[in-house]
Structure 1
Amino acid sequence: MQTLSIVLTCLICLPVARVCQGFNISQPQGQVEGVERSDVTLVCLVSSETPVGPVRWYKGAGSERRHFYSGFPKGGDKNDPRVTWTAEYMTVNYSITIRDLRVSDTGEYYCEKYTKADENKPYASGPGVTLTVRGVPIITGPASRVKVGNDLELTCEVNGVSDITVKWFKDEQEVTPEHRDTSWGGKSRRSVIRLTPKIQDIKSVVRCQELGLSALNPLEDKFHLKDAIAVLPGVPVIENPKLVLGDSVIMTCKLSGIYPRDINVTWTWDKTFKSSQSQHAEEHENGTFTVTSVLSFTVKEDMRGTQLTCQAGYEGLTPVSATVTLGVRGFIVSQPQGRVEALERSNVTLVCVMSSESPPGPVRWYKGNGSERTHFCSGAPKGGDKNDSRVTWTAEYMTVNYSITIRDLRVSDTGEYYCEKYRKKDENKTYASGPGVTLTVRGLPIITGPASRVKVGNDLELTCEVNGVSDSTVKWFKDEQEVTPEHRDTSGGRKINQKCHQTDTKDTGHQVCRLVSGVGTLRSEPSGGQISLEGHHCSFTWSASHREP
């Protein structure tokens, strides 16, 4: 930067010769270059503190001359509010600092001395300083986003300078002239480039650089292409879950490989608009996103057959969409077991699963049908209903699983069990009922012997009684040898007798009654003996009595 130091000797003097002799004003900078929105100092030094009088700054010459700054503006003059004296105490230094420079500040600035005796006539004037304010390059992009693969136009405008060079760079690579268009307009330079962005340009930066009076201090503006381009998804993917009447469901619309993440998503029921309630975004390495839009609602009867559309897009671009037809199922109570067989004094679980948590309301278990129907178990029994004390809910927290466990089963527990759903707004009317489950409780075989000992050689009669089962097969075994038919007598009902016609001392051993049915074999012993469980078998050891004649 060239600096000119000019000293202008006072040519205009007052009558007092000693005041004029040697007085001068120095504006040594000659030319100053500033940058838009920055600060600059214009230097003015006077050779003496006398004569007494103000110092004023003016911009321009001739008809364009106007007051710019002074300590005490005269008449209608006003100070520019951005200007201050540079020195705290002005004696010979009347330099000024201009803040927040504008391109319009470009021009000639003159520092002038006045005397108190005649404040309307300059006593001395400096040679002036030329201030050139370089406008900061400003890049503007399109009004709306441009789809990748289409042309993108960027404009760089620089004001206040006519003899400058403008260059474009994309990721440090200069844009070649065939992609650059430069036009002039007064003291400004407007340059336009056209690019065809790709997906990888999400991370690209474009720079517009201007070189003013000094090529060593270029000014530039940056533009991130991610602010102007858009990557649209393919066809959205709508997850269509099973819809159950009264259920609260979440529908999702998945948009893969998009940019930017803030895409506009709307849902519509046929032609009724419904906005997306929330979105979740996952970023990929190339800068694109997979966005999942979520819509939650409660399934209603009138939604059956309704078309639900997910539409996504960016302002100014054609959106993409996908549509599904909703299928609504009724509320279902599932009791999948059908039939369950269990043993007396054991535990059993009866399964009941709801198709949905809603509508809110209790679930109750009933035993039997018609006039034999009785309340068996529920969370909060109503009226005079009572829960069977042996029954508990199987799950710790009931949402859709309302299975129950019955402990210490009795033969009398045999029967049909129904799991039923009720709504909170009408707890006296069944909302949905399961198909029921048939529970059959098999009683354990019980052997009873004679009231007193039997003499060897006399007949011995043992009775095996089984309760709760009608379609079973009963077999007798003596020392693991099945008793032949002639030694077995089966009576009606569920009591089976066996007679041993001739007892002997060798009869000491095991007498076993085995009950055979669908779930296995039961063995039992005479009453009064000690029961030992061997899997599903129960055995009894007895001794024949031998008495001397």
Structure 2
Amino acid sequence: MVPVMQELPLMCLILLLLCRDLGVGAQESQGFSLQQPETKVSVALGETITLNCTISGLVGPGPVRWLKGWGSETKTIYDQRGYPLARVTRAVAESNTDFTIRIRNAQPEDMGTYYCVKFVNGDKGGYEVFQRGSGTEVSVQAKPNLPLVSGPEQRAEPGQSVPFTCTTGGFFPEKIGVKWFKNKDPMMAQLPRVTAWGAKTYSMSSTVLVTLQKDDVRSQLICKVQHSTLQVPLHERYQLSRILRVPPSVEVRTEPSPVELNRTVTFTCLLKEFYPANVSVSWLENGIGIKVENVFRPLQLSRGLFELKSQVEVQATEEKNGSTITCMVVHDAQAPVNSSAFLLISNPGQGGLSKGFQMGKGASGMGCLPGW
């Protein structure tokens, strides 16, 4: 009997301690509630994120914290013991039941799932999770940047098909719409390519092919971007004159020949419907440069193209009979083109004049038209 009586106090002690621990645990959890009502919150870029959390009932000592994410990538956003981030404040300061927080100046990197968590002192020191909310998923609605339309680096000529690209970025959510117009006419384009860009935002690229026309000097491309964050679409314009080159047609005209001896003969070089305006004209007599007294400037037509008239005067002396008078044109730093005409002098002894002609081909394969 003695050994049994000696073991009873030890067993009672163990049961007493176990009951006490169970009693404390039940008391700490009895009546405690943590409410995190919103499952999703969406704000615009730069606005304030409000995350609601309230607690009620009694619980053991330990802080309330807001955590972003759960598991290995958890980040503390707010700690009741005084370690908030710079943009985070309490909605109700010093409250022991309302732990609603506000995150100012919402940024794309603020997107994620936030948890309100009550911690208690752990048996081995530190804190242990006592209860957490169901989580609030935060999305930041970010407007796309102003679109940018880019074209080829070098000019192209009528009949060529060239690509143009419209890009924008920094938007969320991912869904975005793009429409192309040439002047007021809608255009078919490739499906936009949307990719991840920066901190949880997206970028978009859309490409359209345009076959250039001679009259596109006044034309423009328009890229319109539609997104859920926009009340009206964003748009960007691109003037096709920035990349269009229309080579001139070159024609030399002069009066009918042969001409009388010692007469002053005027040769006219006509450059028709070209763009842009930068062009240089020089005159040659049998391959040797002729000084031009009057320099004419290009004249812009109503369609935006240019024309230019250049003239040179040649004295019809006997030694110039049969000379080739050439107009050499360099347009927009391209290979030169030329057109030529002959200077034919009549024989005074023969009396009558015969109909003259013009000839010549330039580097571009342009020929001359019959003279006036």
Please state which band the TM-score falls in when normalised by the shorter chain.
0.3 to 0.5
- If the length of structure 2 is used for normalisation, what is the TM-score? 0.47
Higher helix share: 2
Bigger Rg over Cα: 1
- If the length of structure 1 is used for normalisation, what is the TM-score? 0.34
Higher strand share: 1
